[in-house]
Structure 1
Amino acid sequence: MNLQLAHDLDREVRAHGAVPAIVAVLGGRIKVGLTADELQRVATEPGVLKVSRRDLPLVVAHGLAGATTVAATMLAAHWAGIAVFATGGIGGVHRAAAQDISADLPELARTPVVVVCSGAKAILDLPATLEWLETHGVPVIGYGTSELPAFYSRGSGLQLEARADTPQQVAAIVRAQRALGLGGGMLLAVPVPAAAEVPAEEVEQAIATALAAAQAQHITGKAVTPFLLQQVAAHTAGASLQANLALLRNNAAVAAQVAAALV
């Protein structure tokens, strides 16, 4: 986690009427909301682990530190009574490996938190990810758009069944989901700001090159996603990184507005 970015997102959330709470694991304790010192530790200490649902018992039992994935953050938010969570992009179904499915997806199907993001990470199989969410009953709402954002790019060509254009409209859908007792979460898909968008063709070319490099270097497991994102940033001359920063700030603002509308 970049320390300056964390402070920027904190200010963004407060500016739009909500209270920020960054989630992490420190000393084997799940923390929802960090002090300045704790945030500094997560951002700068070596040995901070990537922690998903399956890792929580081990990290807690051994008193370790970890940065939480979407799945683990959803769990922590739900336990703390937080209804809305902002991130960059969720995990999903991997390209050319349909059996490789991120733990973020089943968490969305069972944990009642609204996840505000810019779709799944562009390195993933977006059609298969959207199909998985549909099959498992997860509402995917386009925010100001009728198609699934492609993370760095505003559109993927994949049409969505639902759209909302205001925080109040999103809040109404969330309340209806709760009233019906459907359980599970919801994905609010927010396009990257237009000024920071990277053309889809450029992104796809960079991803193809990155995937080939990952295969050639035998990159596997948890190392795949950070490797691919780093490669894409290099092949887009940093444009993908700037898009990532812009969408994170924008998603934090939208999430704050939705949270305020739910009060």
Structure 2
Amino acid sequence: MVLMVAEEVREALRARRPVVALESTIIAHGLPRPRNLAVARELEEAVRREGAVPATIAVLDGRPRVGLDKTQLERIANEDGIRKLGHRDLPLAVASGASGATTVSATALLAALAGIRVFATGGLGGVHREWTATQDESADLGLLARTRITVVCAGVKSILDVPATLQRLETLGVAVAGYGTERFPGFYLSDSGHPVDWTLRSPEEVAGVMRAQDALRGPESALIVANPVPEEEQLDPALHARVLAGALRACAEEGITGQAVTPFLLDHLVRHTDGASLSANLAAVRGNARLAGRIAAAWAEG
């Protein structure tokens, strides 16, 4: 089989011990060096402190790897030429022997193939603004509609069309619940301004929903657990609104389109908030890793 599962991860899965999948795009493309490697190690340690085994996922030399050792993690963080891989890119990367960091869609797919049920990330992709003109929608949504995995995230990236994304998730049949909140979080913000229909308040409640998914034998779709960044660590909402408006204008003026839009807007936010958006991002990812560890532990107890 092409998939390479680290021994620690494989043994944990065989023994039905908790495991949490982590994406690698934030390491290779989301943070500057050397901070990216320090954060990668910190997230793995956060999962371990909750009693779960971390499984950072990436593709190295054409081999999808579920769980990275020290040297492999350093390669993803420091090696030039690491590609950004969505799930559609995986066959091409495998066949060509390429190395790449996995996005939400690729990570979710490889985690599910390995038998991992819980995945922690920052924010999901979604429907882009001006969708009626561009038809631009993240591959995350379609993949999650057909992959049985629980994704702990801080909502969708606030640069996207949040209500349209929530509507799209409903259409695709992907379950969404706020964790300890009745409001859908906005990645950098605790509240995107939109409600959620369901609220879960403990890891045990989340695990209960996961078991109900299996018992009902319905479509193999994901469960999104939307965990808001703490209010004291969120990006100031007024600053966020002002800087995002400027970023959208700059994007239009410079003719940025397609896959280039998201990294352009995120970089603009980091630069024009003096790094405050990055701090909020990291606070969200840390909280999601911790919560995912607790959910994986509750799931393993069932």
Match of residue 92, structure 2, among 35, 58, 65: 58
> Is 1:107 aligned to residue 143 of structure 2?
yes
Gap regions ≥5 residues in structure 2:
1-26, 28-35
> Deviation of residue 196 (structure 1)?
1.0
Distance 1:202 1:139 in 2: 31
Match of residue 167, structure 1, among 203, 210, 233: 203
Q: How does 1:162-241 map to 2 (within 5 A)?
A: 162-182=198-218, 183-241=220-278
Q: Percent identity?
A: 52
> Deviation of residue 220 (structure 1)?
2.5
Provide, for residues 94-144 of structure 1, a one-character-per-residue CA deviation record: whole Å limited to 9, x for no partner: 011242110000111100010100000010000000000111111101001
RMSD in angstroms over aligned alpha carbons? 1.0
Deviates more, 1:220-229 or 1:9-18: 220-229
Provide, for residues 164-221 of structure 1, a one-character-per-residue CA deviation record: whole Å limited to 9, x for no partner: 1100000001110111012211110000022211132321221111122122222233
Q: How does 1:123-162 map to 2 (within 5 A)?
A: 123-162=159-198
Q: Match for residue 75 of structure 2?
A: 41
User: Which AA in structure 2 matches 1:41?
Assistant: R
Q: Match for residue 103 of structure 2?
A: 69
Under a length normalisation based on structure 1, what TM-score does the superposition of the two structures give?
0.98
Matched residue SS, 2:182: coil
> Deviation of residue 56 (structure 1)?
0.8
Checking the alignment, whether the CA contact within 8 Å between 2:116 and 2:149 is kept in structure 1 is: yes
Q: Match for residue 30 of structure 1?
A: 64
Distance 1:13 1:71 in 2: 21
Distance 1:145 1:66 in 2: 35
Q: Match for residue 298 of structure 2?
A: 261
Gap regions ≥5 residues in structure 1:
none
> Is 1:120 aligned to residue 156 of structure 2?
yes
Checking the alignment, whether the CA contact within 8 Å between 2:158 and 2:192 is kept in structure 1 is: no
Provide, for residues 33-57 of structure 1, a one-character-per-residue CA deviation record: whole Å limited to 9, x for no partner: 0011111010111111110011111
Q: Match for residue 81 of structure 1?
A: 115
User: Which AA in structure 2 matches 1:185?
Assistant: A
Distance 1:56 1:194 in 2: 37
User: Which AA in structure 1 matches 2:178?
Assistant: G
Matched residue SS, 2:58: strand
> Deviation of residue 11 (structure 1)?
0.7
Distance 2:251 2:75 in 1: 30
> Deviation of residue 223 (structure 1)?
2.2
Matched residue SS, 2:274: coil
Distance 1:77 1:83 in 2: 7
- Give the total of aligned pairs: 263
User: Which AA in structure 1 matches 2:39?
Assistant: L
Deviates more, 1:171-180 or 1:192-201: 192-201
Distance 1:128 1:205 in 2: 21
> Deviation of residue 238 (structure 1)?
1.2
Distance 2:278 2:185 in 1: 16
Distance 1:219 1:43 in 2: 27
Distance 1:22 1:57 in 2: 19
Q: Match for residue 11 of structure 2?
A: none
